[in-house]
Structure 1
Amino acid sequence: KNIKCFNASEGNRQSVAEHSIGMLLSLFNNLNTSDREVRNGKWEREGNRGIELAGKTVGIIGFGNNGSAFANVLQGFGVKILTYDKYLTDYPFQNSMEEIYKQADIVSLHVPLTEETTYLADDNFINNFEKDFYFINTARGKCANTKSIVKSLKSGKLKGACLDVLEYEKTSFEDLSKIGFTDEMQYLINSEKTILSPHIAGWTIESNVKISKILTEKILESSI
């Protein structure tokens, strides 16, 4: 039928990158917990002592628009950045997964959901890491196996998880309360080791404008 399809992932890459950083900093500095405590009249300083991002090693898996934008934002934080993208063969500074497994303190997924990446972050993936680490997923929910994430949070192999996406999503707009929470989802909700958001990493006022402009430009260019 000669139907053309366009995407505009470059339009929300900055918002995804900033959201990833925001979730991580919130987790590192106990912002959600301490905010709730102060609102309830509790002034707890020592129990909310945070950790610094500087000096950590961050492994980025998937180095397209979102992964590269995340790396760019990270550069001002004094971290070591390791990147891996199976399909990016012409990038001269790419690392191996073995390097990420050995060195990473933080791992962030920025891959599309394909048959190959479904449940990419499973028991085997997590247990390959030499260090206990923090996990970020702003890609797609089914790129991570929730049972594996919860099991690793309980064991301490995962020190924390920042999840903007969940495998229970069918679209980006559902009311999860109508689906019914699994035991794993209930654990994620109750845990102080998690930061959750409803698939809004790429959902800013600016990204909405940029995506519209980029799609318009691509459509106009294709019709010339």
Structure 2
Amino acid sequence: MKILIIDQMHESIIPMLESIGHQVTYSPDIKREEIIQSIEPFEGLIIRSKTPMDRDLLQYAPNLKFIGRAGAGLDQIDLDYMKSRSIKLFHAAKGNRDAVAEHALGMLLSLFNHLEKADSEVRRGIWDREGNRGHELAGKTVGVLGFGNMGKSFAKRLKGFRTDVLAYDKYKKNFGGKLVKEVSWEILKEKCDVLSIHVPLTSDTRGFLTIKEIESFAKPFWLINTARGEVISFKTLNEALDRGLLKGAVLDVLENEKFKSFSEEQKEEFEILAARKNVLFSPHVAGWTFESYEKINKVLVKQIKKEF
């Protein structure tokens, strides 16, 4: 099969695909218009998230048999149109689930123990022990919203911390066991001290965490978001933090990750958010490790080999 790769991938992807008989064109810098002009002969397409895979583009790919998504999120792919064309979809959530889980836990521990603040102060000659007194994860109840690859992997990382882990997933049932206790959304909101988001971006999850939803939690909690920023807005985060509904937040994803395209409201709200000492950011890199970069290839190629 002729396969076009339109995003930056670990270099191992090309020999891996060629070893199972496929012809690979690697064009990580290709622009959308160039994709439209050149996609016609290709039967496979491997992407990250640079270019939306919508009907307007895919209509120019009459020979396309599959799309391989090097990652977990599918919100930029027209799944209904793919289904109507019988185009298969492969995605590599298993490739970066360990990276996401470790990053989420690392950010939470850093926030709990003021590690960024403490490091900065010591470098400046400030030795403030009391001001950097932290919290322990042991004894806390951690709620996991969404129990797919990422949520399950995060729950596994918590096992050694003597936490109670509760999980809610709207689309999955009977997954509870030694790792987590399966609960309703209402029970999770009643019990959790920490909420970690692991849901895809859909019409159901976009803007899901409103201020009204956060008000319905039984007690203030810490928020972890390594999933999709659009689940909660800057404005909601600021109001919840101002009112003490949130104790703090670790954010690997943002409502809008293109700073230059911020609306005036987003710019104002983000500046307030960025000034907070109980908020920790990273630039959407939770699944972006050296190891996951290569593991994603292995997961994709295994799926492609099985079908083609």
TM-score between the two structures when normalised by the length of structure 2: 0.68
- 51, 54, 74: which is aligned to 2:138? 54
Structure 2's unaligned 5+ residue stretches are 1-61, 66-86
Bigger shift: residues 79-88 or 89-98: 89-98
1:38-187 equivalences in 2 (<5 Å): 38-92=122-176, 93-169=181-257, 174=258, 176=259, 178-180=260-262, 182-187=267-272
Alignment pair present for 1:8 and 2:100: no
Tell me if structure 2 keeps the 8 A contact 1:110–1:138.
Answer: yes
Q: Would you say the 8 A contact 1:60–1:109 is kept in 2? A: yes
Asked if the contact 1:108–1:137 (Cα under 8 Å) also holds between the matched residues in 2, the reply is yes
8 A Cα contact 2:99 2:286, kept in partner: yes
Secondary structure at the counterpart of residue 102 of structure 2: helix
User: Which runs of 4 or more aligned residues in structure 1 lie more than 6 Å from their structure 2 counterparts after TM superposition?
Assistant: none
Q: What secondary structure is seen at the aligned counterpart in 2 of 1:218? A: helix
- Larger RCO (CA under 8 A, 6+ residues apart): 1
Partner of 1:30: 114
State the Cα distance separating 1:145 from its structure 2 match. 2.0
- Aligned equivalents of 1:31, 1:91: Cα separation in 2: 35
Mark the structure with the bigger radius of gyration: 2
State the distance in 1 between where 2:233 and 2:273 align.
13
- Amino acid in the other structure paired with 1:208: Y
Aligned partner letter, 2:219: K
What is the identity, as a one-letter code, of the residue corresponding to 1:110?
H
In 2, are the aligned partners of 1:120 and 1:145 still within 8 Å (CA)?
no
- Counterpart of 1:144, as a letter, is I
Map of 1:210 onto structure 2: 295
CA contact (8 A) 1:57 1:106 kept: yes
The match for 1:220 is 305
Distance 1:10 1:131 in 2: 33
What one-letter code is carried by the residue in structure 2 that aligns with 1:122?
T
Shift of 1:5: 2.1
CA offsets 1:174-218 (integer angstroms, 9 cap, x no match): 5x2x33561211122111010100000000011111101110111
* CA displacement at 1:39 relative to structure 2: 1.3
Q: Which residue identity does 2:159 align to in structure 1?
A: Q
1:143-187 Cα offsets, whole Å, 9 max, x none, are 112211111111111000000000112xxxx5x2x3356121112
Does 1:17 find its partner at 2:101? yes
Quick one: which of 175, 178, 188 aligns to 2:273? 188
The SS at the match of 1:108 is strand
Q: CA RMSD in A?
A: 1.2
Say how many residue pairs are matched: 217
Alpha-carbon distance between aligned partners in 2 of 1:10 and 1:72, rounded to the nearest angstrom: 14
SS at match of 1:25: helix
Secondary structure of 1:82's counterpart equals strand
Displacement, 1:4?
2.5
- d(CA) in 1 for partners of 2:175 and 2:146? 12
Unpaired segments ≥5 residues, structure 1: none
Distance 1:151 1:21 in 2: 25
Q: Work out the percentage of aligned pairs sharing the same amino acid.
A: 48
- Between 1:145-154 and 1:74-83, the stretch displaced more is 145-154
Asked if 2 retains the 8 angstrom alpha-carbon contact of 1:60 and 1:84, the reply is yes
